[in-house]
C-alpha cells in the first residue's frame, strides 16, 4: 500500500500518509522517472532529499535509505 509504515525511513523522516513525493535530489518524479527508479540509483544507507507536496505546501525532507524489506507472495 501507500501508507507510511511506522518505524520506516519515510516515517522517521516525517513523511505522512497522503504526502506526494515530487522529486528525489532535484530529479522530478514522473512517468519517465518513477520514484522506485530514482531511489534505485542510491545505495541503502545514503541520504537523499525528497521534495514533498503536503496539501498545497511543498517541503523538503532528508531521508536515509534502507534496504527494502522482502515481499512475500
When pLDDT is averaged across residues 45-51 and rounded to a whole number, the result is: 96
pLDDT digits (tens, 9 = 90+) for 4-38: 888 888 899 999 999 999 999 999 999 999 999 99
Q: Residue 70: is its pLDDT beyond 70?
A: no
Mean pLDDT of the chain: 90
Q: How far, in Å, are 42, 70, 71 from residue 20 at the CA level?
A: 20, 24, 23
- In the chain, the percentage of residues whose pLDDT exceeds 70 is 89
- What pLDDT is attached to residue 34? 96
Q: Residue 69: is its pLDDT beyond 90?
A: no
Q: Tell me how far the alpha carbon of residue 14 is from its chain's centroid.
A: 11
| E strands in the chain | 20-24, 27-28, 47-54, 57-64
Amino acid at each position: 500500500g501507500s501508507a507510511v509504515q511506522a518505524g520506516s525511513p519515510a516515517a522517521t523522516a516525517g513523511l505522512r500518509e497522503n504526502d506526494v513525493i515530487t522529486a528525489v535530489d532535484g530529479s522530478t518524479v514522473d512517468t519517465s522517472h518513477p520514484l522506485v527508479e530514482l531511489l534505485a540509483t542510491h545505495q541503502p544507507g545514503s541520504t537523499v532529499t525528497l521534495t514533498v507536496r503536503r496539501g498545497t505546501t511543498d517541503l523538503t525532507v532528508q531521508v536515509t535509505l534502507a534496504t527494502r524489506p522482502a515481499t512475500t507472495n
